[in-house]
Structure 1
Amino acid sequence: MNYPIETDGLRIYLSQIERYAILDRESEYLLAVRYRDQKDEEAAKTLITSNLRFVIKVALGYRNYGVKLMDLIQEGNIGLMKAVERFDPDRGYRLISYAIWWIKAYIQNFIIKSWSLVKIGTTQAQRKLFYRVSDLPEARDMENHLENVAKLADKISVTQDEVIEMAARLKAHDLSLDDLIGDQSRDSFADTLKDERPDQEETLSDYEAQQDLRMWAVNALETLNPREKYIVEQRILAEDPVTLKELGKHFGITRERARQIERSALEKLRGNYLRSELAA
């Protein structure tokens, strides 16, 4: 059974945003500066519309939460607008690397509000379980992955039966990217996201490969000291990362020492991220 979304509305929306080109780095920077310094609404609009495809891609990652896809996209768009308002183009990384935080935050908040307490559960452990099970590739067939069930149950202090029960709830609201948009359509949801423009695949590939690291690094930089922050920005978030040798020269330290500081900073960020996830 297909997930109950407004397929006609989605098809119309996809056709509308196809006309918005994805900006290159220089164009994005100039528009972002114009909005930051002059509050140029047209610049902000262009920044938003050029990234609408990315919001759809993020929203599709939450398609098994039992919420209409168009609602998730709408919430993600609000997050994107908030990101444009706060984006600092002089940090050296692309807008989407920063916006991914806001897009996901708004989508996740909407999901929590949309799901009833009966579905999610009222305890902190049950809320953790809701997200953990949803993120597992084997969530649709949890009964046949009892080893993972046991590990997850032990990790967040719930019973194995609770893990399987949550998986069953989510399984009832699943949508595949291979599902057809409508009964008379030959196009799947995945097909509608294709773009023949030469820079699209490269942009999406880069986004997918680095989004998990960037999404928490950007928002957690303030927990680092100035040297750690600079190293993470230049090595992880920059469009053209510098080498450890260059960092060593910049700070007057050895390449190995720069590597140690980088590793320490990333471990600190990972710890902060895990704590924030467990507190969710």
Structure 2
Amino acid sequence: MSTGLMPAGVLSPGGNLNAYVQTVSRFPVLSPEEEQHLADDLYYNGNLEAARQLVMSHLRFVVHIARSYNGYGLPLGDLIQEGNVGLMKAVKRFNPERGVRLVSFAVHWIKAEIHEFILRNWRIVKVATTKAQRKLFFNLRGAKKRLAWLNNDEAEAVAEDLGVDVKHVREMEGRLASYDAGFDAGEEDDDDSHYVAPVHYLEDKRYDPATQLEDSNWEENSVNNLEVALEKLDDRSRTILQRRWLAEDKSTLHELAAEYGVSAERIRQLEKNAMKKVKTAILAA
């Protein structure tokens, strides 16, 4: 069986999604014999063409699975791409001697990649980090029959179904109901909602007299400490630091080397040693 080589753009769900779905739906489904032959060729001979055909013939299956996760508000194209990664991992690890079809083996890998993508991108703050929380996250969304909050009986039924405590169901339900709020006001916000943005609740301390005095004292103290530290250096080291770091028209290593009649490397060593002495003196002040 040959699926033929297709342009890369056509086989990218991130581009024209409709064209992608139509394209992968045209790839013929493998018969058990064809799949066994390709799987054997890949497993025993490492034939990459066999791997490509196994992947291409199952892309429609990834689309089917990805569509079942549409309710999470993430782009379908992204879900399909992640599912394709899982499919390729499954094909790589598929053992034809197990006696199962590739689709039965691959479904777990496809869903695992999609789950991981959803958990990474569904909220800025992670809603599920442990294995138990991840299971509860996906099962609770399916268990809720309506948009309203679960009553006590429903929460207990879900907890019993999933084998967890009711408090964990309530906690995850709260996480599912939360949403990400922008720190800054959006451009589309009206005048009333514009000032509700968290950025407007921050205290602006730039013009606080106490803060300005503190900054001024800190700057003055830093300058004084630097002057004292420089005075402890020998003339050559002090001049090198001033010319290299404090002058408006800074000198290069080679310029100072020519002036003092030494190598540029020697100037660099003197600069490094002088800088270390200055830092030590400032920290000790």
**What secondary structure is seen at the aligned counterpart in 1 of 2:72?**
coil
Distance across 1 between alignment mates of 2:88 and 2:77: 17
Moved more, 19-28 or 124-133: 124-133
- Give the superposition deviation at 1:94: 0.5
Q: Does 1:136 align with 2:143?
A: yes
Q: Does 1:158 align with 2:167?
A: yes
- Give the superposition deviation at 1:49: 0.8
The alpha-carbon distance between structure 1 residues 45 and 124, as it changes in their structure 2 partners (threshold 3 A), is closer
**2:119, 2:126 within 8 Å by CA — same for their partners in 1?**
no
**2:85, 2:110 within 8 Å by CA — same for their partners in 1?**
yes
Moved more, 28-37 or 150-159: 150-159
Q: Does 1:50 align with 2:70?
A: no
Which deviations, in whole Å up to 9, do the C-alpha atoms of 1:93-117 show, x marking residues without a partner?
Answer: 1001111111111111111221335
The equivalent of 1:175 in structure 2 is none
Paired letter, 2:102: L
**1:59, 1:76 within 8 Å by CA — same for their partners in 2?**
yes
- Give the superposition deviation at 1:85: 0.8
Larger radius of gyration: 2
Q: How many residues align?
A: 164
**2:67, 2:76 within 8 Å by CA — same for their partners in 1?**
yes
The equivalent of 2:96 in structure 1 is 89
The answer to which structure, 1 or 2, has the higher relative contact order (CA under 8 A, 6+ apart) is: 1
The equivalent of 1:37 in structure 2 is 44
The alpha-carbon distance between structure 1 residues 78 and 8, as it changes in their structure 2 partners (threshold 3 A), is closer
Paired letter, 1:149: A
The equivalent of 1:225 in structure 2 is none
Following TM superposition, the consecutive aligned residue runs of length 4 or more in structure 1 with deviations greater than 4 angstroms are 121-128
> Gapped runs of 5+ residues in structure 2?
1-12, 180-285
Distance across 2 between alignment mates of 1:25 and 1:125: 36
Q: Does 1:98 align with 2:105?
A: yes
* Alpha-carbon RMSD: 3.0
**2:21, 2:63 within 8 Å by CA — same for their partners in 1?**
no
Which deviations, in whole Å up to 9, do the C-alpha atoms of 1:189-243 show, x marking residues without a partner?
Answer: xxxxxxxxxxxxxxxxxxxxxxxxxxxxxxxxxxxxxxxxxxxxxxxxxxxxxxx
The alpha-carbon distance between structure 1 residues 88 and 31, as it changes in their structure 2 partners (threshold 3 A), is same
**1:22, 1:51 within 8 Å by CA — same for their partners in 2?**
yes
- Give the superposition deviation at 1:70: 1.1
The equivalent of 1:194 in structure 2 is none
> Gapped runs of 5+ residues in structure 1?
1-5, 171-280
Distance across 2 between alignment mates of 1:134 and 1:141: 10
Which deviations, in whole Å up to 9, do the C-alpha atoms of 1:163-188 show, x marking residues without a partner?
Answer: 54345459xxxxxxxxxxxxxxxxxx
Higher helix share: 1
Distance across 1 between alignment mates of 2:109 and 2:131: 23
